[in-house]
Amino acid sequence: MSLQVGDRLPELGYELAELIREGGHAFVYRATHPTLTPKAVKVLKPGMRPDIVEGFLREGQLLDKFDHPHIIRGHHVLKIGPELVIVMQYADGGSLADLLAKQRMPINDVIKMTRSIGYAIDYAHRQGVLVLDINPANILRVAGKWVISDFGIAVYDSPNLLLPSAHGTPGYLAPEIRLRKPVKASDIFALGCVVYQALCGLPVDFGSVKDLLGPDPAPRLPPDPSVPEAARDVLAQALEKDASQRFATASEFAEALRVALVGRKKVVKSSAPLPSTIQAQLLLHIGAAGRPRQFAFSPDGKLLLWTVGQMLCGHNLLTQLYLQGGSGRGIYLNETVEQIEFAASNQAWFVSAGRLRSIQLDAFVSGKGDDVVMPYDVVRVSEQIGHFARSANDLAVTSQTSPTIWLYAYQGNTVGRLRVMYRIPDEHASITAIAWQGTDIIFSTTSVYEGSGVYRWVDAHLADSHPLIIPLSSGFKAAPFEKRVVFERLAVEGDQIAAMTKEEIHVFGKHPAIIRPGGTLTDMLWFREFVLVAILDRSTNFYRVELYDAGGDLRFEFPPQPYKSGGAQAVSLGIYKDVIAFSAKTGIDFFRVS
């Protein structure tokens, strides 16, 4: 007898609370736990054919393997008595089918949905997997984002692939699937069918199977004043019966649809916007002993510094434009080097052993030798220094041992008198990161009792002894956040602020968002108006680097082959103009993004 509402999963402590969906092969339940968040539990129906059982197990393996923000997360594959069960992320926002049963989607929502699912399809294809069941019932809303939820009939792609039978959801099957010969473009065809339905409110009517396989083109989207003719042309290409005539990738289809629907290229408020098709070209690899942990480019881009344990290393990039040539050198400091940045083209600051230190690098800059002036203290305070941040006229320094910010006068790389000291009125708090935004200080805190938060010290440059401190909201929740949330990085770009935890990035400002890439986040920076994040996928132990737009959607992922971590230190990121540097297993790779 199959599992039913009220039954428990003894291994996990979850109880099946309600049946939320019944498919041809499985039941899907919402399961609850006394202390943990709800999960979705997919139970295979009894008496299924061996190939269906095999597909169910493959689905569980894929969901456990995949790590993408627009693919449902799988947690466990279990056998409870005779039942096969997949425990996965619960979709709190229902399905696209539920939404389309009530209304047509607004144009902007269609664009976002298509882009999200398109990125997920391309990710699956890069893993060598064809989804083969893209339809509104299998597109779910999780934490405000659209995800693909079903890989029950997914297969691994291979040359001359031949299915044992033509299976999938009628109305979303490409002609080649009817002939049992699926290709990557089959998933693009299915996504085109979904978009057609989202725009006009009705599924595509292909007529009979004979009509679908016949020479006549697929039906065009009916004329609609709200849908430009260019968008109908884009859909027609996605629904081409000849797979070779469709778009090369799902994200290419999504971008063409967006341009057609809004009638213009996407506006990016930057002097050098990213094009619709993002590419990354490997420019240079620098070998390094150990994995570099932190980077700093000199203001002119000719010198790169990084840290490996107690070693401060440098590379003289002889030509700023092409990043060619140069030689790496190391300076052994006999002290652990932490946060590092340039105060001038020939002067670097870093935190070491609780002190803010400075080092002259004239020899590195000139390329004439290895001689450097050994580090000296920039400021001396009574407590160990945690972090520092500079503006044009002020230096902010935090404490490792108390929730304190010291504000010093700063001009021309010279630190002056202490202007003001601010101590957070919570002795159990600590400051985890700090940055300047204009004349304001942005800082993050965590507290055993009060939770975590991101705050703005308004007009900090005025050095008021009674400062105005405002908690920030990412549009979903204001500080304090949950106690388990600790913001480890802050990055500021214009009026946008990004705060990173180990699992997600909160964006504060004009376009608030929460980005959940999946995996453990190790570093984060702004690249123009995009968030660049380094991620460790714990299931595969590989690192990857992803680029997200202001809306929190994945725009690009590189390198093409992720780096194996081998248990090494976290990947770190550095940026100079259109060049991105990040630590690889054997050193540092430089990519130009165009």
Instruction: Tell me which of 238 and 371 has the higher pLDDT.
Output: 238
pLDDT for 367 equals 54
Residues 84, 141, single domain; the answer is no
pLDDT for 498 equals 92
Looking up tokens 């539990």 gives 41
pLDDT at 563 over 60: no
Contacts from 125-130 at CB under 8 Å and sequence distance 24+? 125/157, 125/184, 125/187, 125/249, 125/250, 127/65, 127/66, 128/156, 128/157, 129/62, 129/154, 129/155, 129/156, 129/157, 130/154, 130/155, 130/156, 130/157, 130/161, 130/182, 130/183, 130/184, 130/186, 130/187
Residue 175: inside a domain: yes
Q: Structural domain of residue 444, as residue ranges?
A: 297-532
Residues 409, 467, single domain; the answer is yes
Residues 49, 183, single domain; the answer is no
Residues 430, 523, single domain; the answer is yes
pLDDT for 363 equals 62
| pLDDT tens track for 298-339 | 887 777 777 766 666 666 554 332 233 334 455 556 667 788
Residue 326: inside a domain: yes
CATH code (residue 527): 2.130.10.10
Instruction: Tell me which of 366 and 83 has the higher pLDDT.
Output: 83
pLDDT for 272 equals 40
Q: Average pLDDT in the 370-378 region?
A: 71
Per-residue confidence band for 194, with pLDDT thresholds at 50, 70 and 90? very high
Residue 342: inside a domain: yes
How many degrees, rounded to 5, is the angle at CA 431 between CA 430 and CA 432? 110
Strands 39-44 and 587-593 come out as unpaired
pLDDT at 567 over 60: no
Residues 12, 101, single domain; the answer is no
Per-residue confidence band for 568, with pLDDT thresholds at 50, 70 and 90? very low
CATH code (residue 191): 1.10.510.10
Per-residue confidence band for 371, with pLDDT thresholds at 50, 70 and 90? low
Across the chain, mean pLDDT equals 80
Contacts with 138 (C-beta within 8 Å, 6 or more apart), sequence order: 95, 148, 149, 150, 169
- End-of-domain residue from the set 517, 532, 547: 532
Most confident option among 313-317, 377-381, 444-448, 499-503: 499-503
Per-residue confidence band for 364, with pLDDT thresholds at 50, 70 and 90? low
CATH code (residue 48): 3.30.200.20
pLDDT at 577 over 90: no
Residue 272: inside a domain: no
Residues 326, 440, single domain; the answer is yes
Residue 273: inside a domain: no
pTM of the model: 0.56
Residue 480: inside a domain: yes
Per-residue confidence band for 277, with pLDDT thresholds at 50, 70 and 90? low
Query: Among 53-57, 75-79, 284-288, 485-489, whose mean pLDDT is lowest?
Result: 284-288
State which H helix or E strand residue 570 sits in.
none
pLDDT for 5 equals 87
Residues 311, 436, single domain; the answer is yes
The total of structural domains in the chain comes to 3
Residues 75, 55, single domain; the answer is yes
Q: Give the dihedral sign, CA 149/155/159/162.
A: negative
The answer to whether the CB of 481 falls within 8 A of the CB of 503 is no
Per-residue confidence band for 275, with pLDDT thresholds at 50, 70 and 90? very low
DSSP letters spanning 290-304: S----EEE-TTSSEE
Per-residue confidence band for 538, with pLDDT thresholds at 50, 70 and 90? low
Distance, in Å, from the CA atom of 339 to the CA atom of 84, rounded to the nearest integer, reads 50
Looking up tokens 């940055």 gives 435
- End-of-domain residue from the set 493, 510, 532: 532
DSSP letters spanning 74-129: EEEEEEETTEEEEEEE--TT-BHHHHHTT-PPPHHHHHHHHHHHHHHHHHHHHTTE
pLDDT for 586 equals 62
Residues 355, 373, single domain; the answer is yes
| pLDDT tens track for 130-164 | 999 999 999 998 877 899 998 988 999 988 888 87
Residues 178, 226, single domain; the answer is yes
- End-of-domain residue from the set 262, 280, 308: 262
pLDDT at 88 over 50: yes
